[in-house]
Amino acid sequence: MRVVVLGAGFGGLELTTRLSEELGDDVEVVLVDRADGFVFGFSKLDVMFGRTTADAVFHPYRDVVKPGVRVVQAEVTAIDPAARRVETSAGPFDADVLVVALGADLDPAATPGLVEGGHEFYTQEGAFALRDVLADFDGGRVIVGVTSVPFKCPPAPSETALLVHDLLTTRGLRDASAVTLVMPLPVPIPPSPAASEALLAAFAERGITFVPGQAVRALDPARKVAVLADDSELPYDLFLGIPKHVAPPVVVAAAGMCVDGWIPVDPYTLETSFPGVYAVGDVTSVGTPKAGVFAEGQAAVVADAIIARHRSADAATYDGHGVCYVEFGAGQVGEIDVTFLPGQPPVGMLGGPSAAITADKAAFGASRIRRWFAREWTNY
């Protein structure tokens, strides 16, 4: 059996690792990604706020050396889900099982004025470039603004507002500054009332203004104002944006794969409408948030299905469960334990924030790097 996995992010790496651990050379796994290495989403914030360096958070794919697995650095240029065939810059691949784990792309140009007048911290380049911008910032009005839904890692904008507060405080600039968080959601994390309450309390304690129920529609760089969905305006000196999210163009162009912009899948098996073709993670509309922990959980279910198919056994189904870490600043991290089941409202329980959970988050990252890349890593 040949399994072709498109995308070596959270989902693709977990899937590949599980298949190799269980089946080794019995199955041929081809893992395709255009990049030469992996960076955790949360590492973007760590680099941006000067806690670590870009080199320290980069994990090269050349370290993914596993029985049965071939890593191909190439651009995926076309997907034919009906034929389970893909075209890449390294040639075509035919698959018995095809898994699309290409994540969500970002489109900063979709928000007028964002590229010219603001910054975004969701791409690797954007977040890493902000390290110097933040270090050189002299204080003033900072807006952390979400431009549309859905967006990856729903806690990340709140985390960023809290970390901006910490940075400005450490640099003695907080009294001369204002921090505002603008979001199209009614509360910071709708599936978890406890986490939302804790974040709102943290904003209030720190004097961070929370503007709910509004997206940032545009920036006017000449006047340095952010224009919100209701046409009201907020002046800024530094704008930190969450750009519009879209499925990668090669997925959008694949005949019959996307509905309303994302790949629909069976919420229990992650199979698409094409037999033998699965999709996991941010590229799907499965109903869980776009976050690495959910991509990983979905990859585990697809790996189980492939292993079961190889062994002619039964496979487990997806339970929509995940534990998300949330930075509260001042070295404190909380965790939201949440389950998304079809047709049921999700309820997330909050643990912490505490220094112990900060250590758990570091251990979480280190354990993935050990499994996926067979190397030791301490993020900070």
Nearer to ligand FAD, 274 or 294 (CB): 294
Q: Shortest distance, CB of residue 149 to ligand FAD, whole angstroms?
A: 14
Nearer to ligand FAD, 87 or 220 (CB): 87
Write out the residues near ligand FAD by the rule CB under 6 A.
7-12, 32-35, 41-42, 44-45, 75-76, 101-103, 121-122, 152-153, 156, 248, 250, 281-283, 290-293, 295, 324-325
Q: Shortest distance, CB of residue 322 to ligand FAD, whole angstroms?
A: 7
Q: Shortest distance, CB of residue 123 to ligand FAD, whole angstroms?
A: 8
Give the integer Cα–Cα distance in Å for 150 and 168: 29
Give the integer Cα–Cα distance in Å for 4 and 313: 21
Nearer to ligand FAD, 101 or 300 (CB): 101
Nearer to ligand FAD, 66 or 152 (CB): 152
Residue nearest to ligand FAD (CB): 9
Q: Shortest distance, CB of residue 86 to ligand FAD, whole angstroms?
A: 9
Question: Tokens 């933040």 appear where?
Answer: 134
Q: Can you read off the two tokens belonging to residue 288?
A: 């869980």
Q: Shortest distance, CB of residue 131 to ligand FAD, whole angstroms?
A: 13
Nearer to ligand FAD, 59 or 290 (CB): 290
